[in-house]
């Protein structure tokens, strides 16, 4: 994931925080989820404010995570971290992640 240059895209969002959605195929969801949970302190110290996770409907080995981040800059640093790349490999991620930057317009 380190080859992705996101800062230009993220600079369009001047909010104090951003939300992202990342999904990818994994060897085994439970193995991946355990690794995700073990990465908690790194995510929090990297600027993650919140998360939700699950699988795609009818695709139990496609994991997704929706995160909220303190800023585009901290997300850029996190997503390009060698620690993240190593953790994903150890967790059994079997394809390049798909990443969406979400711009919330309203919630209720």
What is the arithmetic mean of pLDDT over 28-44? 97
pLDDT (0 to 100) of residue 92: 97
- Summarize pLDDT for 50-79 with one digit per residue, the tens: 999 999 999 999 999 999 999 888 999 999
Domain map (residue ranges) of the chain: 7-102
Q: Is 37 exposed, middle or buried (0-12, 13-18, 19+ CB in 10 A)?
A: exposed
- pLDDT of residue 25 exceeding 60, the answer is yes
d(CA 59, CA 63): 8
Parallel, antiparallel, or unpaired: how do β-strands 98-102 and 18-25 relate?
antiparallel
- pLDDT of residue 102 exceeding 90, the answer is no
CATH topology of domain 7-102: Alpha-Beta Plaits (3.30.70)
pLDDT (0 to 100) of residue 108: 83
Q: Is 53 exposed, middle or buried (0-12, 13-18, 19+ CB in 10 A)?
A: middle
DSSP per residue over the chain, as a string?
A: -TT---HHHHTT--SS-EEEEEEEEBS-HHHHHHHHHHTHHHHHHTTEEEEEEEEETTEEEEEEEEEEES-HHHHHHHHT-HHHHHHHHHHTB-SPPEEEEE------
């Amino acid at each position: 994931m380190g080859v992705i240059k996101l800062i230009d895209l993220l600079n369009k969002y001047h909010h104090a925080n951003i939300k992202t959605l990342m999904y990818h195929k994994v060897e085994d969801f439970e193995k991946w989820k355990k690794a995700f949970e073990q990465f908690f302190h790194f995510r929090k110290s990297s600027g993650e404010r919140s998360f939700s996770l699950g699988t795609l409907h009818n695709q139990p080995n496609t994991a997704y995570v929706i995160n909220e981040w303190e800023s585009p800059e901290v997300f850029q640093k996190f997503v390009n971290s060698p620690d993240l790349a190593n953790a994903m490999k150890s967790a059994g991620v079997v394809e390049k992640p798909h990443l969406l930057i979400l711009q919330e317009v309203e919630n209720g």
